[in-house]
Structure 1
Amino acid sequence: MKAQPSPLSIPDFRAFWIARFSAVLATTAMVVILGYQLYDTARADYGMSVKEASFYLGLLGFAQFVPLLLLTPVAGWVADRFERRLVARLATAIDLIVALALGAATTAHMLTLPLLFGLAALHGIARVFVAPAMSAIAPNIVPPAILPRAIAMSSIAWQSASVGGPALGGFLYHANPALPYWISAGFLLLSIVALTPIRRIMPTAMSGSTHPLRQMVDGLSFVRTHRFLLGAITLDLFAVLLGGATALLPVYARDILHVGPSGLGWLRASPAIGAAGVALWFAFRPLHNNVGVKMLLAVAGFGVATALFGVSRSMPLSMLVLVALGGMDMLSVYVRSSLVQLHTPDTMRGRVSAVSGLAISASNELGELESGLLAALLGPVGAVVFGGCAAVAVAGLWAYWFPELRRARTFDPPETALPEAVMQEKPA
């Protein structure tokens, strides 16, 4: 068998990788500091109590989720209607404006809660448009045969930037409160520049209705009627919604493991370390067989690791379990993302990516709300253990309800999901 080329040997993918890494590094650094400043402003300038300021901190995530909820159909339609590289650059430019505004307001000591919430919502708007456009670019710049490796390498960019961004933001904030925003603006500009030399990616003409609203609804309808896509997307939605423990890590750091703020940083970094390691492995040793079963087993493993973390009282063991949790999550993401992209025709990739992005965001943001409510009823340990067991149950139920998932043997796409250009190149 002839060895497949590395995705990084393709100039367009190298530029895409740099753009993705730079944008994620900038936004994660920016959002972490934005949250800290909102809490500090509420306490210092508005005289709020800890509980009141914490409530406003929770509203910050909601402010970023609302644009995603409302604009996802529009963003998916835009990614399938207009040149995707241009859409990604314009959305990234909105985030660049947010970074510059926050840097200027911090320098001038003009931070207010309305300003911070408004800029957080604007960041949410940028996020909802950039995600489907960027997700739909990769399948158009690499051959289908190496798309799983390309997704793994793209995940390396995302995970490594997610680890480095918050740490970079905290370090820069210590030196100068406005510096994280100026540096983030520089990385966002680099992302825009990196996307520029990529060849123009014009979406395939949409079939069916020509009315924009009908085309937006078609994206949701396509996922709903395509059992494989519906099963893959909802598997992640419910597993993370029920099994996520991230929101309760501060409780474990302060009152259960007794490791304080520095320990919290290590706990937050551990899942990303595991995910980055697995993504790096698959970039060079991609999966080939029984991919659907392995995805379901990874979700079950994610649940088991979550439950083990819930009962752990040892910091080293807790970190080790969280590393395993992140690795299992990355395995699931790697398989699911590859299968979803390869089972989606190019005319629908932007809209399907938008639906998938909405599910991921809902599982994360609403999962934090679910964790908090459940912790109030069962306590933090009970909430985490219950969530882990629920994720295992989700894997079992989805294997039964969606047999299409466990029957997925390889990443070979069905004929109907291949882009037209690829179909034309296939020998008769």
Structure 2
Amino acid sequence: MATLQASSFLCASGSISSGQNQRRRIAAPTNLPKLRTSTLSLPNLPTIRGLVEELDLKSGNYTTTTTTKIEKHSNSPKIRPQANDSDPIVIAKLYAIMEAVADRVEIHKNIGEQRNNWNSLLLTSINAITLAAAIMTGIAATRALGAPIMAVKLASTIMYLSATGILWIMNKIQPSQLVEEQQNAARLFKQLHGQIQTLVTIGSPTGSDVKEAMEKVVALDRAYPLPLIGVMLEKFPSTVEPAVWWPKQLGQKMKENSGKMDWNGWNGKLEDEMRELMGIVERKDKANYLKVGEKLVKLNKKLALTGPILTGLAAVGSAFTGSSSLGAWAAVLGVVGGALASIVNTFEHGGQVGMVFEMYRSNAGFFSLMEESIESNLNESDVSRRENGELFEMKVALQLGRSLSELRDLASSSSRKGDEKSASKIF
């Protein structure tokens, strides 16, 4: 019995000690952070995907940002695209047009330089040929060498005939006028490139903007063609008309009507001012340029006919030099005709009469475009759909080379007949 009590005592004490050791072992790591398994959750894939709210769509040199909105119903979220400021396809189309326009600028610039070289080289060559033929005719007339003069006469006649043919072609194409056309085209394409770039940068382009830009490119291609055969502009028109490089139906970019009345920078005084300016441009500036252009085209036409006639007569005189029937008149015709032809050619092509005519025609076209732009705004009855009045007035003033105060003074003083000034200070 005593033995059973002792063993039970030992077992109890052993269990107590083992329990204390277990408590020590369990209590030892109580200073570590506790893991709360109840708060752990694995994020599902749609939740992570919903954190991405902007997708950068990069193409070429531009970046378009598309913002998405996350909506979650039951277990699966839905991504709904919000309204963008501009359609990426529209932006891509405008950039494609800009690349084509930049290429047009380089093409017209390079071809303009090439045709300028034509003008200088052909003029120098024709004058050299003509003067050489005149000298040879004079030598043949003197008979100083005492040798047969048939070879000299034949050479001078051939040179005169060659000069006549080359000069006829040169007068037909008017290289100096072609140079002015290409320079105008390069400048206008560069201007169009800047307009599209501004629209892409600070505007909200739409499909109508793409259509308008395409129409402007086609109109410029039609106004300033590159080929010479078939589509070359008439160099000696019977009636002088202003150059037209914009679409036939001038599409003024209007704003969307918001449904509330908005004067949009316009008032009655500004409308009267624009009407007066439109009248001044029509009566003074455009009329003067067309009048001078008509005189220039008539002068150029006479010079273009006189040059080949003189070289042709000089060729006849050279051929009959030394003939007993014509005497000294043949030599006089051969020598003097060649000298006069050189003078006429130098005045026509060295003075670049064709280029000056094209410049005046282009300036008249500039004023026609301004007239149409003012008229299209004034004819729009919904004022909120016009171009902003203050901005439009500033553009007109800059195009005419005047300050806003000078522009307003010009419009107010236009009613004084006999004291009307030209609108433009630049041209």
TM-score bracket, normalised by the shorter chain, equals under 0.3
Which one has the largest radius of gyration?
2
Which one has a larger percent strand, Structure 1 or Structure 2?
2
TM-score (norm 1): 0.25
Q: Higher relative contact order by CA 8 Å / sep ≥ 6: 1 or 2?
A: 1
